[in-house]
Structure 1
Amino acid sequence: MKQNFFLFVLMFFSVMVFSQKTVSGKITDEDGVGIPSASVTIEEPGKDAILAYGITNAKGEYKITFTSSESNVDLKVKGFNQKPITKQISNSDQNLNFKMQSEATEIKEVQLKTKLITARGDTIAYDLKAFDSKSDRTLADVMKKIPGIEVNADGTVLYQGNAINKFYVEGKDLMEGGYGTITNSLPKDAIAKLEVLENHQPVKMLQGKIPSDAAAINIKLKKSVTMTGRGEVGIGADPLLWNVKLTPMFFSKTSQWVVNYKTNNVGDQVENEGNILGSYNPWEGRRGNVSQNDWLNVETSGTPSTPVKRYLFNNVHYASANYLTNIDKAKQWELKAIANYTNNAVEREDYRETTYQTGDLAGSKVINSTRNDFYTDKVRGELLFTKNAKKGFFKNSTSFSQFWNADRAFAVREGRSAGQAVESPTSNFQNSLSTIIPWKEKMVNLRSYISYQDDQQMLKVSPADYLRFPFRENEDAPIGTIAFLPNTVAQQNFRLKTLDTSHSANISFTKKGWTFTPSVGFDFSNDRLDTDFNAIALSGIPNFNGPAYENNLKFTEINPNASLGINYKTDVWNVFANLPVNFTSIKAEDDVRGVSKDLNRTTFTPNLFAQYTFASFWKASVNANVSNNFGDIQTAYAGYMLLSPNGFNVMDANNPIPQTTTSALGSRLEYRNPLNNLFFNVNYSYSDSKRNLLSAPLLDPNTGFTLMQYLDIENHAKSNRLSAEVGKYFPSFKTNASVNYRNTTSLSDAFLDEVRFKNKNNNQSYGFKLNNTYFSWMSVDFNMNLSRTKQEGRTGTLGINRGYNHNLAVFFYPLEDHNIGFSWDQLNTTNNDTTYRNPFFDLSYQFTWSKKKIDFELKWMNISNRKVFETYDLNGTLNSLTYTRIQLRPSQVMFTVKFNFK
């Protein structure tokens, strides 16, 4: 496979480099002074299509690389207040200088055919009016129609299939990654244009030195001082329903703020808008979404592959506030304050029939149902001080998060039932500091990160005799079943305290496009785990406990490291290499369970990336990396823990510390031509993870409960991924269309019923997206996806799952200020000869009070009143087939008033 990959890469670059030509030179005025910002384009003779283009620098110099099969091409030069030049040149490498004559003109930038997309260097600007429809109200509504851009329900933006690294409003990063609130709530009427900043390096000191292949979004507003925002107030029936969204915003040159309050019980998952969505940039320090260490869980009902609004029974209150202000006269220092609070209650219910197809369990069927209540109660606050200037960078982030979450379940399995409950308070404190200090022609970067988290959890199952698990004292003993006395309550207690620190320093040298960054660092983490399990009779007398069900584990990891970063940046090449050497020392100790493990290992984990830009619109890249994971405290405990009522988990005290070494290779070919509205990308990746421990679950054939154990056996998990997408906007028809294809194959070792075998999983999907606003009386949005999943396990092919789903939204505009909407969600699943079809229909009517810019909407959701979703799932590890029926939201009617804040 690796040989095939390198052959593919070799052919890949051979095709790219073949027949490429470069034209360079200087553009001057009549006095011989260089003309900056003049556009130079290469076109095929007689064709109205640009092959490549460039913009002159401050000295009037230009350089263009292009590919053409023609013997001659046309070179065109345009500059502000200069007479255009057109000259036919040979298709060869050459240096051409031009002297332009003065002439009044209004041309300011490269524009072709239409003004809906303009390009200037790495910045692509979109006129949103060219893409919106009469039913669109927010930035997200319009962005979904722009070629090359995708927007998820939580507001996440993808450009050319990859997450953006920054989201700016007027060049300021108010949201610090949690930009979903703005995406979903900024009115389109307040926006002048949207800019995509390709190859965006957010740290100004590193621009031109440390390259980036990620893109950013910048929103340009119509007014320099803007008070705006979006609001909705809705009420409905069956049962009493509400949906309130209030998001006022303010933007100026020195300060910005967004205040947000959203509450509903209609299945709208608004609380995810505050998540940090941008990709991680280590030069800015270390920030991310704080999450609990959820070791203990109740049995959980499944979720269908439908839009969340179809099945989510919620009662959510989400409030957030973001504030930014400049705190110095030079406007280089910024203070940012971020706070959010979530209170959410979710109900869920399902029914499952699981049939096992191997070993002693072959043909046995386990029936169970689960009803859940999930309670989320969390608050987060963060304070940031930042300076991002050409001559200095500083960023310090201090945050505190507190959770008071709780989960409930009532489960029925093979005639037995039990109530289950988890209480899980968590506290987290983090501080991240990164600063870059100029030192002569060098840069010194200092980084420091500290995180402390305290997780407490308690799982209760009543009555305890609901729990019946396979159990084995040692490898030679027969498998038995743990049973509990009647009228007892099983209780698993858990507490984990985690301290995580990381400190590093580096110095960067830059010369002629090369930047070398040697660095040293020291990482330290310490985890302390305390657990115990017991079953207590209603009388209060313990009747099941002991040291076998206790943990008092201390897990310490020390990682001194050194690395050399190498960056090379030219007009066409973007090369990055990181060559780190790590010494890892791990020690796990538990006197109660007799655990004493240690590991000392020196590793070399290189990371390589190279990107080549050619013919103006093409980019090709390859990457390769090696990484090591030596496990964590979750893989070191030796006392039995009831992680969920489905089974106990335990690690053998004699097993070594887990070690996983992953080797990964990847390549990407990308074409984006904003001048003819065409975007294309194809990606391939291969990874191989070598592990020293293999999971070996023990199944109870009567209950389906599982005991998880691990064997000291080398094993592998390999995957191949191929994806491609092409999209184009057709201005004449006001249509944006795209198609995509994905193929993923994974192969992994598995162990069940004393037999080792291979699990193979292949998934293929085909997608199509279309939106059209050509007719003044109608707009259409259509998304379709076909999928095929084949799983092979111990007994051969387990089955083939096929899926089909589409989302159709049609809006009609019979009269001015009136629209009628119809949506159809269709989700089909097929397992062998059995097909389940799940259609959903919605109907809406909206009247717009144009003078006040207020919308009045009446909407009927799930017209057919479909109450359950049915599907099949395959599990290759357990060799099982599961039929699932999940409760859905019933038919409901909502009346909503929508408006803008100014």
Structure 2
Amino acid sequence: MKKNISLFLMLFFTVFTFAQKTVSGKVTDTDGIAIPSASVTIEEPGKDAILAYGITNSKGEYKVTFTSQESNVDLKVKAFNQKPLTKQISNSDQNMNFTMQSEATEIKEVQLKTKMITARGDTISYDLKAFNSKNDRTLADVMKKIPGIEVSTDGTIKYQGNAINKFYVNGKDLMEGGYGTINNSLPKDAVQKVEVLENHQPVKILQDKVPSDQAAINIKLKNAVTMTGRGEVGSGFGAPWLWNVKLTPMFFGQKSQWVVNYKTNNMGEQVENEGNILAFGSSWEGRRGNVSQNNWLSVENAEVPNLPVKRYLLNNVHYLSANYLTNIDKKKEWELKANANYTNNAVERESNTLTRDIQQGTQFNTRFLNNFYTDKLKGELIFTKNAKKGFFKNTTTFSQFWNADRALAERAGSIGNEALESPTSSFQNSLSTIIPWKEKMVNFKSYISYQNDKQVLEISPANYLKIPYKSPTDTAFTTIKFTPGTTALQSLRIKSLETSHSANISFSTKGWTFTPQVGIDFSTDRLITNFDGITDDNKPDFSSPAYENDLKFTKINPSASVGINYKSEAWNLFSSFPVNFNSMKAEDAFRNVSKSLNKVTFTPNIFAQYSFASFFKASVSGGISNNFGDIQTAYAGSILTSPGGFSVMDPKNPIPETTTKNGGVRLEYRNPLNNLFFNVGYRLSDAKNNLLATSVVNPSGFSVIQYIELENKRTNNSYYAEIGKYFPKFKTNASFSYNNSVSKSQMKRNDDLFDTKTDGNTLGFKFNNTYFSWMSVDFNATKSWNKQSNIYTTGNLGKSESYNHNLNVFFYPLESHTIGFYWDQINSKLGDTKFNNGFFDVSYQFSWTKKKVDFELKWMNISNRKVFEKIDVKNATIEQTTMQLRPSQVMLTVKFNFK
């Protein structure tokens, strides 16, 4: 492995250091006046391929860096109303000035053609028309075809394989990271172009001082004031009656913007995730995240197939959201944003699994029928000032959950009813401000979070549970025998308070920015749990301290750090060198347990990126992090976290410690001149733990999870590569991707301690074509090979393969008429066992072009496939599972734009 890393690093640095040359100078006219916006390109003689390019600034200055093995290259200069210049120069560093002759030309006819991809500095612009097909309706539909960009079903955008940090519309961040709604509902006809802002620093006062390695997306609309939106109303039949309603009006003005969104359906479309925060901005803006429950307890869950959600999701969802932004001052520096969303969702799920336990030589059946009920409300109020002379941002968030889960469970012949009630209340406030002070900047950040979770898990009858048990006097595990007809009840309550405060001062000189910082984090959690149950032999005693918790867990973390950043035309560097004083204490007066940890840690991290030859970016990153556990790993009593078994912590165990080291290298190439993008890289991580999770599993699959003090490691190494190109002549976008990941870890199961290794390989291919006026094609495919090995899964038993593809073909036989064909194929293989699952849909759409209204009739799951089958190999088991799917269904939908 070390040999492979060394070879990769040698190739990595050789690529961008070999034969780099820079040509710079100034372009003027015959009067000596600078010519701005002139293009300067470097080409190899006799070849119609641009190696590198540059644009003159307002002073007529240019700088072009290129790489070529030729002894001479052609330098070409072009500008409006000037005679083009071409000069052959030597392949060397040099300074060359040019004087251009004016050339006035009488133009009888002018035909303007917009370039599909243009670049200026760190901004790459895509003309949406160049990637549009007749069946596309929304922004997301078109963006999926742009080279270098990936779009998920919930609207998530990745550029060059990495998540974006901001999503703007006309330069404004209305959605604050929850941009999925706009991406999936903004009509394509309202958009002029999509801009990728590379190395985007969203805090304006930090631009040119603190660099960023992430990109942002800015959507430029055709009109400065735009009232638009998208709607759908559909009805159909399958079992039962089906509906689908989507109403998303939008307004984008110069002073204010708003989006209102209501979506409801019971036909398998997952719309509630559009409200998730997908882009988190900069850490200088404070802390933001997707608020979630502390889900300690759960019912037993049915398996989910590896399929598009629409194939299996049996839902009944109502999702309502509203987002509003307005400027509250004349300079348009201060913004007020108010966001709110409400979700009411009911999901049904069912699966049957045959499990073969290789270690114990047994097998058993499980069947789970679930009903999940989600009922949650979230509100957010944000005040922001983002200006060159100062920054302020305060975010207040409130969330309330009233969730409930149900399960009818059957395991090894025993049947039980399971119910979980889990209400949660949470409140967060994040404040960050940056104040200029002479030549320096002072930053204050404050974060406060309070959350109250209450969970009650009920299992009836209690004798469904057959959980392993060992008393202090026993030498082996037996099975807890619950009294027939009784009920088992696990209750849990946790109250959490977290605060974080910091202050820093930044000063810059010659591209360098130094930021010393001090801060203190404090958190306290209170956990109270209780288990009630009756056994036939009064063994174990559930009223004993072993099955109760009354724990207080406190963390205090003062820290001091210095950030060092550098930004120039070619280099981006940001790093942090923090020293942390970690102090934590776990106290359980109920069982007289008290343990603490006090430790000083140094956790540096660094990222450096070098841009060269106009189109290349090379980067290296690395860091160290420490995690000392939390209340979820510090309690001392047994908790029935699932009806499948107890989770037990040993009071004698120390506080968990995990030290992780990570590093990576990456090379990117993006050339808007020939529409070619690629990236290749390597990542590695090494995590060392002082505790190891162990399990005791009986022949029916019920278990007890324990933690023992034993140093263990988890390592992961991965290589990845992706290349994509758009062929304008054929209106085709194609990309290939490859990923190899090798992970190693240790585990202990039923007193057997063993190493496990997983080697996974994935090859991906994407293709879309709009060359023919009567047809368009979208095709995505992935092929995976995985090998898992330990003392139980060796040879063919540990080898598995899978193949997935999604094919969408649209035919346009007549104007305004579209026929669609959809094919999802999911194949899996383990040894000689194979499962092939194919799904087919057809659709007919009539477009009322004048009114921008579509009428669609769609038949889904034509073959009426009702179950999905798969086979999995785990560390010591083989599981063959059958999962319930949506039946065949027919939908008639009317789709329209609001304007």
TM-score (norm 1): 0.97
Indicate the residue corresponding to 2:61 in structure 1.
Answer: 61
| Greater Cα shift, 54-63 or 294-303 | 54-63
Indicate the residue corresponding to 2:128 in structure 1.
Answer: 128
Indicate the residue corresponding to 2:742 in structure 1.
Answer: 745
Is 1:887 the counterpart of 2:888? The answer is no
Indicate the residue corresponding to 1:442 in structure 2.
Answer: 440
| Greater Cα shift, 279-288 or 861-870 | 279-288
Give the distance between the partners of 2:28 and 2:472, measured in 1 at CA.
85
Shift of the alpha carbon at 1:7? Answer: 5.1
Give the distance between the partners of 2:581 and 2:435, measured in 1 at CA.
28
1:623-678 Cα distance to aligned partner (Å, 9 max, x none): 11110000000001111100000000011000010000011110111111111011
Paired residues of 1:112 and 1:675 also in contact (CA < 8 A): no
Indicate the residue corresponding to 2:461 in structure 1.
Answer: 463
Task: State the secondary structure of the residue aligned to 1:9.
Answer: helix
Indicate the residue corresponding to 1:618 in structure 2.
Answer: 616
Indicate the residue corresponding to 1:802 in structure 2.
Answer: 801
Indicate the residue corresponding to 1:713 in structure 2.
Answer: 710
Shift of the alpha carbon at 1:54? Answer: 1.4
Residue 341 of structure 2 aligns with an amino acid whose one-letter code is: N
1:20-49 Cα distance to aligned partner (Å, 9 max, x none): 101112223334343333322111122221
1:727-750 Cα distance to aligned partner (Å, 9 max, x none): 111111111011111111100011
Give the distance between the partners of 2:793 and 2:188, measured in 1 at CA.
54
**Are residues 2 and 566 of structure 1, via their aligned partners in 2, closer, same or farther at CA, if it must alter by over 3 Å?**
farther
1:831-857 Cα distance to aligned partner (Å, 9 max, x none): 100101111000100001111111000
Shift of the alpha carbon at 1:63? Answer: 1.6
Shift of the alpha carbon at 1:699? Answer: 0.8
Give the distance between the partners of 2:837 and 2:245, measured in 1 at CA.
29
Give the distance between the partners of 2:34 and 2:581, measured in 1 at CA.
54
Is 1:255 the counterpart of 2:253? The answer is no
Paired residues of 1:80 and 1:105 also in contact (CA < 8 A): no
Give the distance between the partners of 1:858 and 1:114, measured in 2 at CA.
36
Aligned to 1:724, which of 721, 724, 734?
A: 721
Paired residues of 1:618 and 1:671 also in contact (CA < 8 A): yes
Paired residues of 1:163 and 1:279 also in contact (CA < 8 A): no
Paired residues of 2:732 and 2:768 also in contact (CA < 8 A): yes
**Are residues 26 and 302 of structure 1, via their aligned partners in 2, closer, same or farther at CA, if it must alter by over 3 Å?**
same
Task: State the secondary structure of the residue aligned to 1:184.
Answer: helix
Indicate the residue corresponding to 2:572 in structure 1.
Answer: 574
Give the distance between the partners of 1:11 and 1:56, measured in 2 at CA.
33
Paired residues of 1:565 and 1:579 also in contact (CA < 8 A): yes
**Are residues 224 and 15 of structure 1, via their aligned partners in 2, closer, same or farther at CA, if it must alter by over 3 Å?**
closer
Paired residues of 1:81 and 1:106 also in contact (CA < 8 A): no
Give the distance between the partners of 1:37 and 1:497, measured in 2 at CA.
60
Question: Any residues of structure 2 matched to 1:669-680 within 5 Å, and which?
Answer: 669-680=667-678
Task: State the secondary structure of the residue aligned to 1:732.
Answer: coil
Residue 649 of structure 1 aligns with an amino acid whose one-letter code is: S
Give the distance between the partners of 2:310 and 2:869, measured in 1 at CA.
17
Paired residues of 2:202 and 2:281 also in contact (CA < 8 A): no
Task: State the secondary structure of the residue aligned to 2:632.
Answer: helix
Paired residues of 2:482 and 2:535 also in contact (CA < 8 A): no
**Are residues 475 and 51 of structure 1, via their aligned partners in 2, closer, same or farther at CA, if it must alter by over 3 Å?**
farther
Give the distance between the partners of 1:106 and 1:558, measured in 2 at CA.
76
Paired residues of 2:203 and 2:282 also in contact (CA < 8 A): no
Paired residues of 1:769 and 1:783 also in contact (CA < 8 A): yes
Task: State the secondary structure of the residue aligned to 1:153.
Answer: coil
Paired residues of 2:653 and 2:709 also in contact (CA < 8 A): yes
Task: State the secondary structure of the residue aligned to 2:629.
Answer: coil
1:462-498 Cα distance to aligned partner (Å, 9 max, x none): 0001111112234973212212111111110000111
Paired residues of 1:855 and 1:898 also in contact (CA < 8 A): yes
Shift of the alpha carbon at 1:614? Answer: 1.1
Indicate the residue corresponding to 1:202 in structure 2.
Answer: 202
Question: Any residues of structure 2 matched to 1:667-706 within 5 Å, and which?
Answer: 667-701=665-699, 703-706=700-703
Give the distance between the partners of 1:162 and 1:178, measured in 2 at CA.
17
Indicate the residue corresponding to 2:543 in structure 1.
Answer: 545
Paired residues of 2:114 and 2:127 also in contact (CA < 8 A): no
Indicate the residue corresponding to 1:816 in structure 2.
Answer: 815
Give the distance between the partners of 1:552 and 1:115, measured in 2 at CA.
66
Shift of the alpha carbon at 1:120? Answer: 1.3
Give identity over the alignment, percent.
69
Paired residues of 1:230 and 1:246 also in contact (CA < 8 A): yes
Indicate the residue corresponding to 2:24 in structure 1.
Answer: 24
TM-score (norm 2): 0.97
Task: State the secondary structure of the residue aligned to 1:794.
Answer: coil
Question: Any residues of structure 2 matched to 1:828-847 within 5 Å, and which?
Answer: 828-847=827-846
Task: State the secondary structure of the residue aligned to 2:533.
Answer: strand
Task: State the secondary structure of the residue aligned to 1:231.
Answer: strand
Give the distance between the partners of 2:785 and 2:201, measured in 1 at CA.
39
Residue 753 of structure 1 aligns with an amino acid whose one-letter code is: N
Indicate the residue corresponding to 1:327 in structure 2.
Answer: 328
Give the distance between the partners of 2:272 and 2:726, measured in 1 at CA.
33
Indicate the residue corresponding to 1:240 in structure 2.
Answer: 241
Indicate the residue corresponding to 1:425 in structure 2.
Answer: 423
Task: State the secondary structure of the residue aligned to 1:376.
Answer: strand
Paired residues of 1:487 and 1:537 also in contact (CA < 8 A): no
Indicate the residue corresponding to 1:265 in structure 2.
Answer: 266
Question: Any residues of structure 2 matched to 1:846-857 within 5 Å, and which?
Answer: 846-857=845-856
Is 1:211 the counterpart of 2:208? The answer is no
Show structure 1 runs of 5+ residues with no match: none
Shift of the alpha carbon at 1:573? Answer: 1.2
The CA RMSD over aligned residues, in Å, is: 1.8
Shift of the alpha carbon at 1:78? Answer: 2.5
**Are residues 425 and 796 of structure 1, via their aligned partners in 2, closer, same or farther at CA, if it must alter by over 3 Å?**
closer
| Greater Cα shift, 478-487 or 639-648 | 478-487
Give the distance between the partners of 1:343 and 1:333, measured in 2 at CA.
34
Task: State the secondary structure of the residue aligned to 1:889.
Answer: coil
Indicate the residue corresponding to 1:345 in structure 2.
Answer: 346
Give the distance between the partners of 2:165 and 2:473, measured in 1 at CA.
50
Indicate the residue corresponding to 1:12 in structure 2.
Answer: 12
Aligned to 2:658, which of 657, 660, 666?
A: 660
Task: State the secondary structure of the residue aligned to 2:303.
Answer: coil
Give the distance between the partners of 2:757 and 2:522, measured in 1 at CA.
38
Shift of the alpha carbon at 1:762? Answer: 1.1
Indicate the residue corresponding to 1:502 in structure 2.
Answer: 500
Show structure 2 runs of 5+ residues with no match: none
Indicate the residue corresponding to 1:82 in structure 2.
Answer: 82
Give the distance between the partners of 2:37 and 2:116, measured in 1 at CA.
21
Residue 664 of structure 2 aligns with an amino acid whose one-letter code is: G
Question: Any residues of structure 2 matched to 1:560-571 within 5 Å, and which?
Answer: 560-571=558-569
Question: Any residues of structure 2 matched to 1:369-518 within 5 Å, and which?
Answer: 369-474=367-472, 477-518=475-516
Question: Any residues of structure 2 matched to 1:271-350 within 5 Å, and which?
Answer: 271-350=272-351
Indicate the residue corresponding to 1:99 in structure 2.
Answer: 99
Is 1:735 the counterpart of 2:735? The answer is no
Residue 721 of structure 2 aligns with an amino acid whose one-letter code is: A
1:756-788 Cα distance to aligned partner (Å, 9 max, x none): 210111111111111000000000111111111
Residue 210 of structure 2 aligns with an amino acid whose one-letter code is: I
Shift of the alpha carbon at 1:99? Answer: 2.6
Shift of the alpha carbon at 1:543? Answer: 8.5
Give the distance between the partners of 2:105 and 2:314, measured in 1 at CA.
61
Give the distance between the partners of 1:441 and 1:75, measured in 2 at CA.
41
Indicate the residue corresponding to 2:864 in structure 1.
Answer: 865
Shift of the alpha carbon at 1:59? Answer: 2.6
Task: State the secondary structure of the residue aligned to 2:772.
Answer: coil
Give the distance between the partners of 1:475 and 1:289, measured in 2 at CA.
46
Shift of the alpha carbon at 1:61? Answer: 2.1
| Greater Cα shift, 19-28 or 811-820 | 19-28
Paired residues of 1:594 and 1:653 also in contact (CA < 8 A): no
Is 1:526 the counterpart of 2:527? The answer is no
**Are residues 190 and 560 of structure 1, via their aligned partners in 2, closer, same or farther at CA, if it must alter by over 3 Å?**
same
Indicate the residue corresponding to 2:556 in structure 1.
Answer: 558
Paired residues of 1:82 and 1:105 also in contact (CA < 8 A): no
Task: State the secondary structure of the residue aligned to 1:745.
Answer: strand
Residue 75 of structure 2 aligns with an amino acid whose one-letter code is: L
**Are residues 270 and 479 of structure 1, via their aligned partners in 2, closer, same or farther at CA, if it must alter by over 3 Å?**
same
Paired residues of 1:178 and 1:275 also in contact (CA < 8 A): yes
Residue 861 of structure 2 aligns with an amino acid whose one-letter code is: N
